[in-house]
A and B are shown apart, each in its own frame.
Chain A
């Protein structure tokens, strides 16, 4: 059981008048699926980057199990919107890259990569060059790569943002499958309100000017999927629509209509 805690963090980029994020707190435990939503410029990506250790907050603390985070680490895998795969390596080599840096032998690496390829439903695509794969496939390779290091946390910045609607729906259930099967904590940024509701165990609503946390809402639809209910049945539940209306209200609260 691992705990990732962002405690009252503020981030102020030097060239901007307003802080990107002020006094934001949230926590992710193993088994949580926390989704950040909010209008543009509310600091979602900043919070995620702070959790990853890519930027240091000006005040407040980011800790994993009580230990201060100063740099990126293998316990927190990151998936970007743009797949950020190394184009000079094939799919299998990309997935095994973290293991290679750790000195794991090639045979073991490839076996692990093939296992992960099967997990993201890309069996037999290991030898493909990155440019041969579609956007959805690349993002799945990116996901497999993130999982290769066996992280405690998966930090994802709009991982499905660049995908078409159909691919996106399939990826949502894949994310839930992976989350449910591995006891990992997920922190994800998204623009999709339905996506947030369907996936999250907790939704963190942010507002801009300056970026801050305005509400944290518990949600249980992802858990319902994990215990066997279909997405169609979940979305047909009136509770889903009601939760969506409430979430929309809190996102657009205070914004001039």
Chain B
């Protein structure tokens, strides 16, 4: 019981600073220190939130953006994970593809936006492509590193047990690589939102980034600020989800104990 309270207290402490910032901001706005044309008060942003929520516009845009983000994540993550596995397990595959992948990795993927617009216009494919590309690298690299970092003595132990290659993979290599794969996953989730928002801001006809750009056209600064706050919340939500999964699947790891 007291343990549960303690854990609630620990997660609540992280929200203390954002809450104080909001309160300070509200007070400064009401006192006229911050002009409403520069930064509207939290209450004004709250009112904009309520209005957009009632009209259904907000939820619709969040739905569209989330769907885009996740589909890009699934595509890029699956390719990155697959290639990371292949290159971690096979020297031939690594020799064949790693140089190319490292070259592409050094191009900032957002620099491809002009090219992507020429290829795909401002349709869904453009966003999907950019998110997938951005998500690919952290997943690929951390999967590869995780597999290469598995204790060779554990693999040897697997051989002593007479495991087949697939048993060795499922029972030794994959669990051994999992901590590193989760690092890649969390990093990739951050890149996912970043890429999507930039892509939507530059070229889209729906979604959160589009909502913010639209509001800018009409000088609705409260909606612009609202969009930014929602990015922050969605990013935090994705990260919390990843950490939850991490803790769930890495209970054996000393770094993930609730002690």
Contacts and interface: CB of A to CB of B under 8 A. Distances in A.
Given A86-B172, A88-B252, A129-B252, A74 B156 contact: no
Nearest to B250: A88
B171 to A, nearest CB: 8
Given A98-B161, A131-B254, A86 B175 contact: yes
B153 A82 contact: yes
A254 interface: no
B182 to A, nearest CB: 13
A116 B99 CA distance: 50
Contacts of B52: none
Interface residues of A, number: 22
Report whether over half of chain A's contact residues are helix, strand or loop; otherwise say mixed: loop
A87 B253 CA distance: 7
Contacts of A54: 156, 159-160
Interface string B165-176: 001000110011
A181 interface: no
Nearest to A94: B157
B167 A101 contact: yes
Contacts of A97: 161
A89 B252 contact: yes
B47 interface: no
Nearest to B164: A101
A240 interface: no
Nearest to B155: A84
Contact of A72 (B154, B159, B172, B176): B159
A80 interface: yes
A84 B153 contact: yes
Contacts of A89: 252
A78 B159 CA distance: 11
Given A88-B252, A101-B167, A52 B154 contact: no
B114 interface: no
Contact of A84 (B156, B163, B167): B156
B157 A84 contact: yes
B95 interface: no
B162 interface: yes
Given A52-B160, A101-B161, A101-B167, A84 B252 contact: no
Interface string A130-161: 11000000000000000000000000000000
A241 to B, nearest CB: 37
A72 B175 contact: no
Interface of A: 52, 54, 71-74, 77-78, 80, 82, 84, 86-90, 97-98, 101, 129-131
